[in-house]
Structures are given as C-alpha cells and as structure tokens.
Amino acid sequence: MAQAEGASGRVPGSSLVVSVRSLRAGRFVLSLARPLVMGVVNLTADSFSDGGRFLHPALAIEHARRLVDEGADLLDLGAESTRPGALPVTESEELDRLLPVLEALAGLDCPVSVDTMKPGVMRAALAAGASMVNDVRALLEPGAVDALAASDAAVCLMHMQGLPRTMQAAPHYDDVLTEVAHFLAARAAACRSAGISADRIVLDPGYGFGKTPAHNLSLLAHQSGLARLGYPLLAGLSRKSLIGHITGRGADDRLAGSLAAALIAVQQGARILRVHDVAPTRDMLAVWAALDQAAQAKNQDAQ
C-alpha cells in the first residue's frame, strides 16, 4: 500500500506510531503535530442536523466566522446534503449556494474546504479560493482527480459504500476495516499517480456512509489500522446517527456522545476532526493534550 513520506512520530494519548507531518492546502501549511478541528458550515436546506439554518449567505458567513473565533483550524462548506436518502442537487444550484459564501471567506486566515462530489463544482471552488476539496466519493467522478491535480489544494478522500440516496439500505462487508483500507489506499495511489503529493492527501473512513452501527463501531475501534496507511486521517462522527443509536438522543442533543466519539477517534489516530461544535471540541482536545503531557513528563522522569 502507498505510504506517505514523513517523519515517524507517536500519536499522543496512545501507543500508535504513524507518519506525522504537515498538510499542504493551497497557500496554507497546517502542522499535524496536534489534532486539527474542521468546522462544518452547511449551506443546505436538508442537512441532517442543521439543514436550513444557514441557507442565507449572510447567516452562513456569520456562522463560519464564529467557528473560526471558536478555534476552527479549517472550515468545510457543503452545499449538497449527503445524509442517507438525500436527493442530489444540480451543479448550478450547488454553485449558487456556495460561491457567495466562499468568496466572502476566501480571504480569511483559515483554509476553506468545499464538500462536493462534482468536478465542475471543485474547479469553480478552487478558482474562487478554496484550499481543500472534501469528496465523500473520493474523486471517483470522471475529471475529479484532474481537477485536484491541476491545483495546489488538499483533498480528503472518503470511503462510502453506495450513494447517499440508498447507502443505508443494506450495507454489507466481509471485513469492514480491510475493505475500507484497500479502497482508501487505492484512491490515494490514484491521486499520487496523477501528481498529487502525499502531503496534500487526507483519508477518511466515512462514518455513517453505507455502514451499520456495528460497522461504524468496528471501524472506530480499529481505526488505527487506517492511520497506518501513512496519510492523516479525518474523522466525521459529529452528531451522527451512530451517536443517536447509542444514546437514544436526537441530532440536536448529541454533543456529549460526539465528544466521546471524537476523543476515541483521536486516540485511534485521527488528525482532523470534522465537527459542528468547534468550541467544545477544542476544550476536549485541550484536556486530552494536558493529560498526555503529564503522562509524558512522568514517563521521562521514570527513564
């Protein structure tokens, strides 16, 4: 499997050793020495947890700025819902929602990612200042790899079984971790062959995308196996139905469960957390980092 170059290092808070390096995203170089927080800005009417709240560009821009103030290291703008059962939107509809907000945010000192499956939207977003493309289809659409290769943006390659409309109908795997790992390694290799350097690539197991609660839990428990592919891992567990399945709570009431899942994801090697609740996630990471430092100091004393 393709490995990214980079110095080897310990993942704080776990015994895991993976390639630790920086992520290049357009004009930004993001250190991965600590886990990064990607704040979600959904410009949709039908997203599962916040659909319709930020449809108006002014509200979306205000929300994005608030997430940056709360400590977001990246923003992820999405103008097409990928929730189970979501209907596709047209390219022009997606761009109409996206571009005014992207143009207003492109000058921020925070990289802006665009969550899209469409190569045409990718090209337009990159031209308008996006520093990253987050594709739940891992650049499988014809022309998508070329759109990224022609840019200096980062890309997040996510695993999904099926497509949003039908993906939760009957997900099946013989071995979910191995199948997700093979898919992600192959997609990273396709990007590398097209000239996209390793330090622009992020991988994502795709929690909730064509997976039952048991598949998601198995992936999360063994996610370190994906971190060993050598690319930074992004985990998107925030408010997802997995948390609702475990806690019995609705999407608006899943913060505590989301923080627990995010912490486990970090301990299992995630370097970017895609979240709706930035400030609480930063607090969780601060506690985790302080404890890790204390543990390190004690280990050094003992040596």
Q: Exactly one of 118, 123, 239, 240 is catalytic; which is it?
A: 240
Choice between 81 and 168, CB closer to ligand HH2: 81
Q: Are 191 and 155 in contact (CB under 8 A)?
A: yes
Q: Which of 21, 63, 83, 123 binds ligand HH2 (CB under 6 A)?
A: 83
**Least gap, CB of 209 to ligand HH2 (angstroms):** 7
Rounded CA gap, 22 and 75, in Å? Answer: 17
One symbol per residue from 93 to 122: x for binding ligand HH2 (CB under 6 A), - otherwise; what is it? ----------------------x-------
Whether 240 is catalytic: yes
Q: Is 151 in the site for ligand HH2 (CB under 6 A)?
A: no
Residue 271, helix vs strand vs coil: strand
Q: Which of 19, 49, 224, 258 binds ligand HH2 (CB under 6 A)?
A: 49
Report the chain's terminal Cα–Cα distance, integer Å.
36
Q: Are 262 and 8 in contact (CB under 8 A)?
A: no
Q: Which of 13, 57, 78, 111 binds ligand HH2 (CB under 6 A)?
A: 78
Q: Is 158 in the site for ligand HH2 (CB under 6 A)?
A: yes
Q: Are 111 and 75 in contact (CB under 8 A)?
A: yes
Nearest residue to the partner ligand HH2, using Cβ: 236
Read off φ and ψ for residue 49, nearest 5 degrees: -115, -25
Positions in 244-273 near ligand HH2 (CB under 6 A): none
Whether 118 is catalytic: no
Q: Is 48 in the site for ligand HH2 (CB under 6 A)?
A: yes
Residue 83, helix vs strand vs coil: coil
Closest residue by Cα to residue 80 from 122, 112, 108: 122
Q: Is 236 in the site for ligand HH2 (CB under 6 A)?
A: yes
Choice between 207 and 288, CB closer to ligand HH2: 207
Q: Are 153 and 26 in contact (CB under 8 A)?
A: yes
Element (H, E) at 286: helix 278-302
Q: Which token pair is 137? A: 């289809």
- What is the contact surface with ligand HH2 in residues (CB under 6 A)? 40, 42, 44, 47-49, 78, 81-83, 115, 134, 136, 156, 158, 204, 206-207, 234, 236, 274
